[in-house]
Each structure stands twice: as C-alpha cells, then as structure tokens.
Structure 1
Amino acid sequence: MDAPVIVVGAGPTGLVLAAELRLGGVDVIVLERLPERSTRSRGLGYTARVVEMFDQRGLLPRFGSIETSARGHFGGIPLDYSVLEDCHFGARGIPQTQVEQVLEAWAVEAGADIRRGTEVVGLRDDGGTVEVTADTPQGRTVLRARYVVGCDGGRSTVRNLADFDATGSDATMEMYLADVVGAGVRARQIGERLPGGMVMSAPLGDGVDRIIVCEHGTPPARGDRSPSFDEVADAWKRLTGESLHTATATWVSAFGDATRQVTRYRKGNVLLAGDAAHTHLPAGGQGLSVSAQDAFNLGWKLAAVAAGRAPDELLDTYHDERHPVGTRLLANTRAQGLIYLGGSEVEPLRAVFEELMRIPDVARHLAGMVSGLDIRYDVGAGDHPLLGRRIPPRKLTTPDGLLTTAEVLHDATAVLLDLADDAALRAEAAPWTGGRLRIVTAAPHDLAPGDPLASGDALLVRPDGYVAWTGADPIPLSSALDRWLGRPTEK
C-alpha cells in the first residue's frame, strides 16, 4: 500500500482528518484536485463547538485575535446564544482561506503528505485494499490504501465512484454571492427580507463587502456556470432600489438550497465526511463546523483501526454518532430556509417563531442545535450529565500545575481524569497507557455551584473530547477502554 489511508479533498474537513490521523500515528496521503489553495472564502467563521475543538488541539493562537459574538439568529430572527453556558454564535470574520491555511500548516507539521493537482478519476474497493486512480501533472497514477475517505465536497467524486446511496431534495432556487469593492451599501449582516426576496451585506474589511441576494423565482438550473456581476447587481437593484453597477466584484458565485445526505457514512473501506456526506443550505454558518466535527470524530477512530490498535467495528460508531447529527443539520437548515427565504406566506410562521424564541427553553434548544453544544452520543449506560457529551472548558489543578480541559487533550490521546486520586483506578487503566491513554490526576478548579464536572470521581475522555465513561457507570472502566481503545497490548 502507498499509505494506510488516502483522504480525497484538502478543504477544512480533509485537512483536519489528515492531521488527526497523523496525531494517531498513521501515515496519510491527501489528494487535492486544485493545484493550490483557493483564494475564495464561502465560510466566514465557525461555531462555538469548533472553537472548542481547535482549542483542544492548541490551534486557536494561530488564528490571531478571535472575535466571538453571542448575537446570532435562527432563520433571520435574532437569537442570543448566551442563553446556554459557554455558548456563542461563533467565531466571526475568519475567512475560510485563513482556516485552510492554518489547518494545512498543522497537517503538514504533523507529517501529512498533501498532493495538489491530483484529480481522482477511479476507485475500486476489493474488500482489503482500495485502489484509487488519479490524474496528476505527471500523468495517470494508481495508489492503494486500506481505507479511503471522501472529503471532496458536495459534488464528491468519491461518493459517486463508490456509489453511495443518498436521500434528499434538489434545489428549488438559486442565490447569488459576490465580494464587492465600492458597494457603498449599509450593513445587513443578518439579512433583510423584502417583498421580492432577501438581501444580505457584511463588511469584510479593506473596503470589501460580502453581498448575498436571494430573489424569489430565480431558477436553480445553472450547472457549473457562475453568474455575471451584472446579474447580481440587477437582482440587488430590483429588490432594494440601490445600484451596485458602479462597484467592482472580486468574486461572484451562486449556491442553492439542495438538501441531500448519504444513507450510510461508510461503505466497506470507503467513508465520507463533511459536504461529501451531507449537503444543505448554508444557514447559520454550520457547514464548515459540522464537517470539521465529522473529521474530529472519525480521525482518532480510523487511526486506531488502521494502526491495528482497535477492531474494525469501531469505525461503525462514526456513522452511528455522526449520521444523526447530519440529519438534524439538514432539518434545521431547511427550517431556517423556509422561515428566512419564503415569501409573504411564511409571515405567520415567523410571527409564531418570534414568540416561541422568547421562551428561554426554546431559545436554549435552538442555540444548542445550531452551535452543536447539545450533541450527546450514545456511548453506553449511565446517567452522569456529561456522559456522551463533550467535556466543558474548565480549569484543573494537576501535578503539572493549572491546566484546562482543552490542554490535556492537545496530543489527541484519550484521557482518564482521576478526580478522586484513586490508585486502584489508575492501576486498572495502566495497561492502556503508552500512547493510547493518558492518566491525569486532577481536581476541578473554582467550579460554579452545580457544575457537572463536580458530580463524579473519574471521567474517560475520548481524543475528540467526548466523555465515554464515568465513575458512576455500571460497567467497569476496563470494559469502556476495551470498547473505545481496543484490547491492551500484551506484554
């Protein structure tokens, strides 16, 4: 084999996955069709959950000063995301180009082999090896790996070549996007509903505004052709009465509201992550964030299986955990699209939603849904409030000083937090140490009353930050370690 794993696509999803595989000790080749990173940014930030994910790998300083805001929306209706503890609408104003630059540097530093200008044209899974045929500047080549992961976007070649089944609906409309210099329009950062559609404008800095136009009745049948800037400016004029025709566009694009999800995220030795697995309307900036979380969930599992440390069945938990998240993503983005982009017929629905969103429990529910902070995986029995959830950002007093829960996860190793200085528990976990598990004897520091971290004496935290076992569980720690880390190495 050329590598245990081949990742197709060097966008944020593929780069996170490649770095996580390397942190797990597995060689990976990343194949990317484009000869160099794109200079265009559809995404302009990421959600609260991904801020936490990047923090747990020590990446946040690489983004410079990060601005977060509690003020967001659901379907264009304002929503204060601080109704949930540790929650916000996300990191704002970070272009996807910067995200990809940071993630590519991280992946390369970790040892990922990124091959640009390489377009996949064939794929065959014989049950033991996956053969990938690709066109390169030097000619056609064939590469072999045990596993291939398609992270190649909504028009995924891997998904099509491996014949994944998918369900969903085709686009019903087309929307325009343009980055414009000299627009001279007022900011409409949440967007503004107008009789003929919706418009949005947000300053990007250096005199550039991001313009989005959704005009009712614009057909989706465009294919790969980008709209002209005159089309964008004409639509803006019809909706707002304002002229953009004297401005200059640095980028013009289009997108639709197609919704589609593959029925299984794994088919044999081929897996899908990110937009290759789920496509949707880009509402609430969730696309990049959910896709990156797919990669964080899959990376440590695939590394453990490919390295022979864990059984192949561990990969099935990737689908089991992430497919429901994708389904819910598609549901909430479709709902937001109806509320946000519909015509006058949705005004009664918007009025009811505005009333409901003033109810604290409803606001918390929607904030948790969009931010990803309400994700809870089915990891087994037990009723501890953190079981199946991501460990919250807290400070810990340890023998190495004061550390955050994110800092103890920097090396992408599972962590046993011994919160009761239990020598017997540490002895039970010892066979899994030496690369798979890190044992940290710690005490929570300065917790607020009722904090869930105070209600247990031990937590097993997976490499992706989710709690897989607590001292209150009915199963022994060794069983949980077997399930998530594989059998210990015989000595």
Structure 2
Amino acid sequence: MYDVVIVGAGPVGLFLACELGLADCSVLVLEQEPRPGSPWRTAPLGLRGLSPASVGAFHRRGMLPDLLKASDVDDFPGLPSSSGVDPEADGAERPALAGHFAGLMLDPAKIDLAALPYRLPSPAAEAMMTSLDAIEGVLAERAAELGVEIRRGVTVSAVTQTDESVVTRAGEDTYTGRWLVGCDGGRSTVRRQAGFGFAGTEPRFTGYTMLADIADPEKLRPGFNPTPRGLYLCMRTPGHIGVMELDGGTFDRSQAPSREHLQTVLRRVSGTDVTLNEVHHASTYTDRAKQATTYRQGRVLLAGDAAHIHSPMGGQGLNTGIGDALNLGWKLAATVRGDAPEGLLDTYTGERHPVGAWVLDWTRAQVATMQPDPHGRAVQALVRDLLATPAGTTYVYKKLSGLSVRHDLGGDHPLTGRLAPEFRLTDGTRLADLMREGHGAVLDFTPDHRLRDATGSRAHRLRYATGPARDSLGLDAVLIRPDGIIAWAGEPAFDHSEFEQAADRWFGNNQPA
C-alpha cells in the first residue's frame, strides 16, 4: 500500500508528487495518457505563463534553472519569453511581462513599484513563459529522483474508500493508498466517484485553439483583439490562433470542430473574410466556472482543475493548481508521517477554497467585460480607463502575479499569511536555500539568536538561519511554512510566546511517529 496515490501526471499532480517525495512518502502517480509530449503539451499549443508566485515555487525547490533550460524560452516565437528570469540574478525592478485583463494588455511602465507589498529582489521576481511539456519533464525527472512511481496509460474507473485506505480501480487492476488525490482535470473521475459537490455557473462563450495554415494571415491583427462578437488572439507563430465567441457555450464539444466551422467562427468574430486552408490541430473550451464545495472527502482530496474549472482568461488555472499542490503537499506529508498538528489537513480547504472562488469570479468579470451589448461595452470602457492609470494597472498586476493572496492566519503584521519575499542574509544565504528540501524556515535577525532553542525542538521540520539581513523589512524574525507562506512575523521586541504559538499551530512540537 502506498502512502499517497495521485491520479493525473500534469503539472499539479507531479508538483504534489515531488512535495510528498521530499518528505519520504511512498507515492504512485497514475496517468491516462500513454506517453508525454503530445502537440498540446509542447510549444506553441502548450505555451503557458507562470506567475511570479509559481516561478518562486520552482526557485525555492531548486528547479528553476532546469525549468529555464527545458523551456528554451527565447526560442518560443509565440509570445514574449520569461522577460529575463535569471536564477543567479536578483531580479528586475520592473516586471516586463505584466499580463492582461479580458484581452486588454497591461503596460508594465504603469506599475507602481512602491505599491507592491514587501517586495525584495529575487531570481524569481518575474513571470515567465514556458510549456506544459517543459514543466512536466522537469517535475517528472525530479519525482523519479525522489522515488515517486509514475504509471502511464492507466484509466481510472472507480474509487472506493474506507476508514484506513482508498482503493483506485483501473480496468482489472487496483491500487491502494492511505490517501488519494485527484489531479485529473476538469472532468475528474476521482471527483465524480468520490461524490464531491461541484457548483457554479454555466458558460457564456465557446473558445477555440487551433494551429492552421491561413491563406491570408494579413487580414488578422496580431495580439489580443476584442471585438463585438468576442475576442481573437494571433500569436507570432504562424497559424496559432485563439478565438472566443460569445455564443452561450452552445457548440457541441463532443465532436471535433471542422475546418469549415472554425473558419466560420473566426470570420464572424474577427469581422474579416479570412480563409483557413488546413487545420492541423484544434480544440474547444468554455468559460463554465465551477468549484468543488470542499477539497476533501474523507481520505480523498482534490487539487488543480479537478477542484475548480473556469475560463482560461488571465492564465490563472495552472498557477492556481500549483498553489494547491504547494499548500497540500507539506500538510498531507505531515499527516502521513503522524506529526501533523490537530486539524492541519483541514486547513487545505480552508485556505485554498477561497482562492479558487476568487479565481472563478476573476474570470467571470473578464467575460462580463467582453459582452457585446451596451452593458458590456460600458464595463469595457471603464476598465480601459482604469488600466490607463498606475493604480488600476498595479491592482490588476498584483492579482495576476499572486502577490495579493493572503491567508487569514491571525496576527497583526501585514506580512502574516502572505508569500514570503526572498530574504537574504549578509553572508549570502537566501531563504530559498533553506527551503529546497521542503522544510519550513526560521530567519532570526536578532543579535542574541533568540529563537535558536525554540526552533531546535522542531528541527526535523524547520531550518534555522541567523544573522543580519540585507533588508529585514523592519522585522526581527520570521517563521515561514514549507509552502513559502509567512506563518508569523516578529517586529522588534516581539513576544516570544507568539512565535511558540505559531510554531505549534503549524509544525507541532513532537518528533515523527
């Protein structure tokens, strides 16, 4: 019996597998696709954007150099590259890749750097472009190094759980784990079989992604193009087109779209008579927005698209899923080891469900902005005006980057519950250096090393570093969870008991069972 069985070998499932592998859990990953590297995973169709929060996750686990090498971002002709992410540098002051809202591009020059909360220079301060294939390749290699078993070509058909384990059936084979995590996408079998509620709203548009030969590409404008009937997007890769038609999501997605249908939709949305000679690859999607009512049912948990589906507007799906995996990984590992504080695993739903709900609303707001009626046009005009200001651009950028996420962990300091900046000691030690193996961290900037003894009793789960920092942000000490979230921030003359309470809440005070 495995400690954890994960269904789905996409970025979310593999990142979670790596987190569990770092904690020496026995992990089996089951994947329906027989092999990696399909055209939908590689460039250009597999291009995806990683937010600064997600890039930071790879940085803290020591995988950013490998990801940059695998991505070969400068060779992607479809979109700007990582905008200069460098694992050896301290990060650019101003983001070069700011994103968009409903196809309305953000101007990086309008971002108010002073308004970004507690930002410190970091190799992972930027968003970056990569591909699903690159992400999955790096994660699969790391997972294998950590002893994770990955089985491909396995289609899960049934899930049965008891008080002690979960049995996953695929054909005539069964796989048993103490825990099961569904990372198997928007049509998750695990979610259905385990009886999760799934609530939300129905679609307003049908989206199409295609790679085609276009007879007259000059008739289409490059980049994002909102129109009265929806939006179309032309990448710089010839023939790589995205289209969103505001048709109420009426296209029958049980069948592949024909060349004729794609041409008709593209003409209708773009307002041109463009001609498609041949379509090599095409897929459809909608803005259906739904979320599991809880992320845990007994010994079954959900992460990524299995827990929440929505429009891809703004590129939030992949980044939200990676956040799920980070949040769940160390909590589930502590539960498997037997040293989790009471209720730790329940905080996964408590913290990540509100984030998922926000993402659904964020994408709904963008769809509302695209509506071709007078109400939609009025909203779009308002958004354009807001994005013409530094305050409006900065607000949207903070949302897209993940910098605005804050969990309610108690405590008065505004850093508590936020993603930790890249603190760096004067001896060169970075916060990421302490977190590479999946541990939490204590940074003690006090000259008398006030937290050394208190940390020692939790040494199996916390890494301790002391000394002056290049910039301590006015703090004397900070406690960081393994997912990079600040659990406690100590200002000068802090109360030692507050640190103890925070450490007990998240890390306990006992050795592994």
Q: Is 1:194–2:227 an aligned residue pair?
A: yes
For 2:251 and 2:245, locate their aligned partners in 1 and report how far apart those are by CA, in whole Å: 14
Give 1:345 deviation, angstroms. Answer: 4.0
SS in 2 for 1:168: strand
Moved more, 38-47 or 435-444: 38-47
- Measured in 2, the distance between the counterparts of 1:211 and 1:326 equals 28
Match of 1:486 in 2: 508
Secondary structure in 1 matching 2:106: strand
Q: Does 1:203 align with 2:228?
A: no
Q: Which residue number in structure 2 is paired with residue 403 of structure 1?
A: 429
State yes or no: 1:15 paired with 2:51. no
For 1:153, what is the secondary structure of its paired residue? coil
473-482 or 15-24: bigger deviation: 473-482
For structure 1, the 5+ residue unaligned runs are 448-452
Q: Which runs of 5 or more structure 2 residues have no equivalent in the other structure?
A: 74-80, 84-95
Q: Does the 8 Å CA contact 2:338/2:512 hold for their aligned counterparts? A: no
- 3-state SS of paired residue (2:500): helix
Q: Which residue of 1 aligns with 2:445?
A: 419
Partner of 2:139: 103
| Counterpart amino acid of residue 55 in structure 1 | H
SS in 2 for 1:252: strand
Matching of residue 6 in structure 1 with residue 1 in structure 2 = no
CA contact (8 A) 2:449 2:466 kept: no
1:371 maps onto 2:398 in alignment: no
Cα distance, 1:163 vs structure 2: 0.8
Q: How many residues in Structure 1 have an aligned counterpart in Structure 2?
A: 470
**Equivalent position amino acid for 2:490 in 1:** G
Cα separation, 2, equivalents of 1:348 and 1:282: 23
Give the deviation of 1:280 after TM superposition.
0.3
1:468 pairs, out of 487, 496, 499, with: 487
Paired AA for residue 365 in structure 1: Y
Aligned residue for 1:393? 422
Percent of pairs with identical residues: 36
- Structure-2-length-normalised TM-score: 0.86
Does 1:440 pair with 2:444? no
- The CA distance in 1 between the partners of 2:221 and 2:127, in whole Å, is 18
Structure 1 residues 412-462: Cα deviation after superposition (integer angstroms, max 9, x where no partner): 1111111114344201110111x31111113222x4xxxxx3211111111
Distance 2:215 2:137 in 1: 28
Q: Which amino acid aligns with 1:417?
A: L
Relative to structure 1, the CA distance from residue 173 to residue 103 in structure 2 (aligned partners, 3 Å threshold; closer, same or farther) is: same
Post-superposition shift, 1:142?
1.6
C-alpha displacement of 1:312: 5.6
Assess, with a 3 A threshold, how the Cα gap between structure 1 residues 282 and 110 changes in structure 2: closer, same or farther: same
The question of whether the paired residues in 2 share the 8 Å contact of 1:482 and 1:488 is answered with no
CA positional deviation for 1:226? 2.0
Maintained 8 Å contact 2:229/2:372:
no
Deviation at 1:485, TM superposition (A): 1.5
What SS does the corresponding residue of 2:34 show, helix, strand or coil? Answer: coil
Please give the residue correspondences for 1:26-425 in structure 2 after superposition, counting only pairs within 5 Å: 26-37=25-36, 38-41=38-41, 42-62=46-66, 63-64=68-69, 67-68=82-83, 69-80=96-107, 82-84=111-113, 85=116, 90-92=127-129, 94-135=130-171, 140-181=172-213, 185=217, 190-204=223-237, 208-217=238-247, 219-238=249-268, 239-246=270-277, 248-311=278-341, 313-343=343-373, 345-381=375-411, 383-398=412-427, 402-425=428-451
The 1:421–1:184 alpha-carbon spacing in structure 2 relative to 1, beyond 3 Å, is: farther
SS at match of 1:213: strand
Q: TM (normalized to structure 1)?
A: 0.90
Change (3 A) 1:144 1:364: same
Shift of 1:184: 5.8
1:342 Cα deviation from its structure 2 partner: 3.9
Q: Is the 8 A contact 2:341 2:506 kept in 1?
A: no
C-alpha distance in 1 between matches for 2:318 and 2:396: 19
The 3-state SS of whatever aligns with 1:300 is: helix
Residues 225 and 396 of structure 1: CA distance in aligned 2, closer, same or farther (over 3 Å): farther
Shift of 1:311: 3.9
Match of 2:385, SS state, is helix
CA deviation string 1:6-41 (max 9, x = no partner): 111001100000000001221111111111123313
* Alignment-mate amino acid for residue 443 of structure 2: L
CA 1:273–1:219: 2 relative to 1, 3 Å: closer
1:232 deviates by 1.4
Q: Considering fraction of residues, name the structure with more strand.
A: 1
Q: How far did 1:130 drift?
A: 1.1
- Counterpart-to-counterpart distance in 2, 1:422 and 1:25: 35
Contact 2:337 2:512 in 1 (8 A): no
